[in-house]
A = this chain, B = another copy of it.
Amino acid sequence: MTETSLRSYDPRTGQAFGASIPVTPEDEGDRIVLRAAAAGEGWAAAPHTERGRALRAIADAIDADTQTLVGVADAETALGVPRLSGEVARTTGQLRMFADFVSQHRHLDMIIDEGEPGSARPDVRRMLIPIGPVAVYAASNFPFAFSTLGGDTASALAAGCPVVVKAHEAHPATTAATLAVARAALRDAGFDPDVLNAVYGFESGKQLIQHAAVKAAGFTGSLAGGRALFNLATQRPAPIPFFGEFGSVNPVIVLPGAAADNAAGIADGYAQSLTLGTGQFCTNPGLMFIPEGGALISEIERAISASAGGPMLTDRMRQAYGSNMHDREREGVYTVATGTAQAGAWSVTPRVWTASLQDFAAGHERLASEVFGPAGLIVGYPDVDALHAVLSGGVLEGTGVLEGSLTATIHAVEADYPAAARLLPLLRARAGRLIFNGWPTGVAVVWAMHHGGPWPATNSAAHTSVGVRAIDRWLVPVAFQNWPEDLLPAELRRGNPLEVPRISQS
């Protein structure tokens, strides 16, 4: 039976509620993409400052409606009002960051080579232009910041691309509510609201990635779902770039000095990061290496025992978590501690296991993969030499024990610096963001942020979904050779009337 409508579910009760949301029929999905493509022409042609103004208008409208939107999202996700309110602020902050960036013409990566009169050397002027309509696959775990108006959408709109969002089944009503506010703001700002739209339902997502008018796609979600869409994107008659972010284990290494110096603080920070949002973060610290012996393992036992679970976003995720728990028990790992269970149909309980470095090395293909939820593996290492040997084995051959991750973290005191310096090159080749004496959850929305990493953290290690460089995914270069001033786009003209940042060979 083909699904014809979606329902909102309350993760606290497991019950459906509210109005059903129709799945987008195929012909309507086609029309939505074509209307977005048509609206995108004017959007791409608008001055960057005008696009910036429209993005700020959307941000203002979302801010004004925060309370309503957070109510809808909390009912669908059980993530709680404080977290969701913060996420809305992050989302609108992100829209304004991209508005600023493009208003300063900083996304154009302009290079000018002036021709030499009387020589054969041509005048070549290169800048970036929008790639065309973008498909954005909303994430389950961030109903605002990686969803309808999240970083993918904000950066694509800022780049000058129209966007069609595939709503996530975990929060379709949140998508519909956010979309209504954003489209009204676009209309009020004088733009065609069809530059932003959404489709609903599993099949509509497959249709979207294969539509001839769609020129690129962004995705945040599971490796299995992302890989399926990546395969569709690359197997099209005309392949399109696909930017998938799939989450990771985010290794943390606690060096001996830090473990001795601050066992309780590290254990508390770990438990908080591991269980934040019921562990439903792609930056969740799923794998931690600590020195064998010492107080840290018992401090972790204390901190995790005091932690609390909560409801997962979907029943499917709850079931997957339970199945992962079951698998791990058979893999020779030992439970360090479990947290407190909580009431609620889809609630899960935090759990931390431990394994020796030797057992981890032998079983890394099963043990070093992500468990989505508040669960972590602690690996005890006898000394830094042994840890370095295990982590560096097979790295050159592309078969190391650590897969690509979004982040890698080191906890160190000054006495640990030589060990940190030795481990750093191994981590740098395996993760997109390296954190010192902190925790991977909580990705700051700043220009320099990199949220990406080698496979399987993403399928494109060169790209990020957070920070200003997220806009690069939706831009392609064009070079103008020997064009007369009158026909050049304003950005490329001699004298630089728009004051665009440029570099030059000469």
Contact = CB atoms under 8 A, between A and B. Distances in A.
A122 B438 contact: yes
Contacts of A396: 34, 37-38, 41, 213
A441 B446 CA distance: 43
Interface residues of A, number: 85
Given A234-B230, A469-B477, A447 B397 contact: no
Contact of A428 (B417, B446, B447, B478): B478
Contacts of A231: 234-235
Contacts of A477: 432, 450, 452, 462, 464, 469
Given A213-B397, A479-B433, A481-B438, A462 B241 contact: yes
Contacts of A2: none
A7 interface: no
A456 interface: yes
B462 A450 contact: no
A131 interface: yes
Given A444-B124, A455-B238, A434 B478 contact: yes
A15 interface: no
A480 B396 CA distance: 23
Given A131-B462, A455-B238, A398 B503 contact: no
Interface string A409-424: 0000000010011001
A432 B469 contact: no
A72 interface: no
B234 A480 contact: no
A398 B481 contact: no
A129 interface: yes
A90 interface: no
A438 B482 contact: yes
Contact of A467 (B126, B131, B449, B487): B126
Question: Which of A428, A448, A473, A503 neighbours the largest number of chain B CB atoms within 10 Å of its CB?
Answer: A448
Contacts of A434: 478-481, 483
Interface stretch (A105-113, A193-201, A331-339): A105-113
Contacts of A473: 462
A18 interface: no
A401 interface: no
Copy tally for this chain in the complex stands at 2
A17 interface: no
B487 A420 contact: yes
A239 interface: yes
A295 B348 CA distance: 80
A161 to B, nearest CB: 12
A472 B450 CA distance: 16
B121 A417 contact: no
Contact of A476 (B215, B448, B462, B468): B462
Nearest to A104: B503
Nearest to A240: B455
A484 B428 CA distance: 16
B398 A213 contact: yes
Contacts of A446: 113, 121-122, 124, 505
A421 B487 contact: yes
A486 interface: yes
B448 A397 contact: no
A492 to B, nearest CB: 10
A212 B504 contact: no
Contacts of A153: none
A64 interface: no
Contact of A447 (B436, B482, B504): B504
Contact of A481 (B113, B436, B455): B436
Question: Which of A129, A421, A478 neighbours the largest number of chain B CB atoms within 10 Å of its CB?
Answer: A478
